[in-house]
Amino acid sequence: MIQVKRALKIMRVISIYRLDMLLDKRALPTFLRVLIAPAAFFGNTESNRGIRLRKALEELGPIFVKFGQLLSTRPDLIPSDICSELSKLQDSVPPFSSELFKKTVEDALGSKVDVIFKTFDDDPLASASIAQVHGAVMPDGRDVVVKAVRPGIEKIILEDLALLFTIAKLVQKYSPDGERLHPVEVVSDYQTVILTELNLQSEGANASLLRHNFEKSPLLFVPEILWDYSNEKVLVMDRIYAAPVTDIDALRAANVDLKLLAERGVEIFFTQVFEHNFFHADMHPGNIFVDCKEPTSPTYIAIDCAIMGSLSKEDQFYMARNLLAIFNRDYRLVAELHIRSGWVGKNISVNEFTGAIRAVCEPVFQRPLNEISMGHMMVQLFNTARTFNMEIQPSLVLLQKTLLNVEGLGRQLYPQLDLWASAKPFLEKWVKKRYSPLGVYKSLRTQLPDWIEQFPQLPPLIFEALEKARRTEYLDSTSGSQKSERIGSRITLGLVLMSSGVLTAYPAWLQSITQIPLLNLLVVVTAIFLIVAR
């Protein structure tokens, strides 16, 4: 019954804001056309479609508001006018009672609030759709914030998700852009994000790792999690006292170097993505503060680590190479990298794809670099690649969204920010470091235990491959016999070298993997090359 009432409310809101105009009515089944027919007489079409959609989501409540926020981060799927309007959604939700908050904390931690904390603030510091935050003081005088999940919110979320999936299926089936927008995939992504946000222990673990990654850096600070008082339903962490990053007046009053602050934001982003491969993917202004104690060396403070991103090693490499190729206006390399990475099909014409990329990038580069948006260029490139059947990777979308946030925030702090000047040296240094002899050695050292483990399986596999080769027809010819002999020689030499390398390295391996000499590693690698080379 509750779901029926909710569904009827959604239909009413769709009618009032004429969201039916986003659908191809001719393709709708008769019963749906009848349901939305009154909208033509009572609906409001004075505003554009983006404004109407935003207002509809606001009226439907916090879960739909958060869904709208997610849609605003998908410029690869959602038209720009709708994205721009949905980005204005604010997740401002009336707080629930402090008594209910205390009961939630007490049930989760198994003790009374008066026992756990020296003092506890009844008025919330913040209230959102998923959780609420209160200030408190620990018995030792430590200022903390206490975050708890809204009671009963999981049931509401699951009910609304079921309805969202139904709507998404209708949009995919009956909207003219249904297939291109992938609405079911978008709702599925949203389901993963919002259910993850329900688990505060996961958020705490993310915050702890991010704090560890920047522990010795002046760039970013993350409040410490008090794990003795935290679990899936409650999170207790150090309280911060800092200026919101959007409070430009407060930052100027503190004499903060805004140019340096903007550049540090870019450095933090690229460090997270390429050095740590673990980046805060929800870096909107509400989650970022600035420590102004040292205005000539300001430090960012990050909170709310529920949504984090990472790339595969392959995507990490190809993204860095792609950005560098774009910097150098080497459009053919950009096209080749997209194909090598598997982002687009290998049957794509390189020349045609190169031309499409050039058509996007070259007009942009006619402007000063500090006026060019790297994030929007990435959006345009991904949109262009979609016409070549590029499958959008969720991790790349998160990266794109985060870059747009960082770039927008940086230029709000310092309008003359040249993101390109900051990014290019970083990426060049990263690529050089990763593929230097030392970087290759570290990678080989990491993989060597697996090689040693699999080494006993190599001889039977090699002989099986040889037996299969002997059965092929081309071995009957002289050239085939010579090729077989060459393969056999390489395999034999490879086995000898590999055995020598592994046996020499083995005692050191027993002591510590870090003790394996570089020479032994090179021997093993050479052996593998000789075995697989043709």
Q: What are phi and psi of 127, to 5 degrees?
A: -140, 125
Catalytic residue, chosen from 76, 282, 291, 418, is 282
Q: How far apart are CA 350 and CA 357, in angstroms?
A: 10
Q: How far apart are CA 158 and CA 195, in angstroms?
A: 9
Q: How big, in percent rounded to 5, are the helix, strand and coil portions of the chain?
A: 65, 10, 25
> What are 13's two structure tokens?
């809101």
3-state secondary structure 370-406: HHCCHHHHHHHHHHHHHCCCCCCCHHHHHHHHHHHHH
Asked about 123 being catalytic, the answer comes back as no
Q: How far apart are CA 154 and CA 104, in angstroms?
A: 14
Provide the sign of the torsion angle of the four alpha carbons 258, 263, 268, 269, taken in this order: positive
* Pairing status of strand 299-302 against strand 220-221: parallel
SS3 state of residue 300: strand
> What are 249's two structure tokens?
């007046």
Mention every residue, 6+ apart, whose C-beta is less than 8 A from residue 234. Answer: 104, 105, 108, 109, 146, 147, 148, 149, 200
SS3 state of residue 226: coil
Are the beta carbons of 331 and 319 closer than 8 angstroms? Answer: no
3-state secondary structure 114-135: HHHCCEEEEEEEEECCCEEEEE
Nearest to 275 by CA among 206, 213, 209: 213
CB atoms closer than 10 angstroms to residue 178? 19
> What are 368's two structure tokens?
């000063």
Nearest to 167 by CA among 50, 32, 17, 26: 32
Q: How far apart are CA 331 and CA 78, in angstroms?
A: 26
Nearest to 129 by CA among 201, 62, 211: 62
* Pairing status of strand 131-137 against strand 143-149: antiparallel
> What are 126's two structure tokens?
């913040």
Q: How far apart are CA 357 and CA 339, in angstroms?
A: 13
Positions marked catalytic: 282
